[in-house]
Amino acid sequence: MAFPSTTPDGSETLVADTSALINLNATGHADRILGAFPHRVVAVDTVIAELDMGRRTGRGDADAVEAWVRAGRVEVVTLDPAGLDQFERLVFGAAVDTLDDGEATTLAYAAQAGAIAIIDERKATRIARQTMTSVALITTVDLLAHAAVEEAMGGARLADAVHRALTQARMRVFEHNMPWIIALIGEDRAASCISLPRGTPQATAKR
């Protein structure tokens, strides 16, 4: 299977935004996925706080992430002074060029630690590419498409997991990820996923 993009292999750190953790939880196989991936995965304490807020509406993502932390699958980290300076640059200013706290701390920590940021939001991706060119970015789909994850999950289980993330968490998918998504879950299931880019012929043909 061809992957839309790849992450560097080795001991690099991945720092997950709030949406990435929600997407992973929605797959129903986060522990297996995180266990298979050959990188250290971290989340900034601000992201954990955002997930905690979801408890008020009955969301279980915070509980799931707590379990991953206890199991050593995810590590909670904090910003140092340099990271805090970067965070402030990302949250203060005109709305079109600023981010929410979770996205900002994720990118700030990636800059601070030389980590790879898992970011699914288009605005955050645009700002990072314009102002933080040294920070490597991947999406949740890129993570799920890693060869180690497919090997651990198997094609059918991975397809079901990705479909759950698309339908239950409305996982965002960039255009470059669409060929892999279509090949994995098939055109029929892709056509039913409202989170997929509407301009993609394969995703819109049966809407």
This prediction has a pTM of 0.88
Instruction: Look at residue 200 in the predicted model and tell me its pLDDT.
Output: 54
Does position 166 have pLDDT exceeding 60, yes or no? yes
**CA–CA separation, 33 and 109 (whole Å):** 23
**CA–CA separation, 99 and 124 (whole Å):** 7
Beta strands in the chain (DSSP E): 13-16, 40-44, 75-77, 116-118, 136-138
Q: Which two tokens stand for residue 18?
A: 């709030």
Instruction: Look at residue 56 in the predicted model and tell me its pLDDT.
Output: 79
Q: Is the dihedral of CA 75, 81, 84, 89 positive or negative?
A: negative
Does position 142 have pLDDT exceeding 70, yes or no? yes
Interval 130-142 mean pLDDT: 92
Give, for 201, the enclosing helix (H) or strand (E).
helix 201-204
Dump pLDDT digits (tens) for 28-49: 999 999 999 888 999 999 999 9
* Ordered structural domains, the chain, with CATH: 13-141 (3.40.50.1010), 174-207 (no CATH)
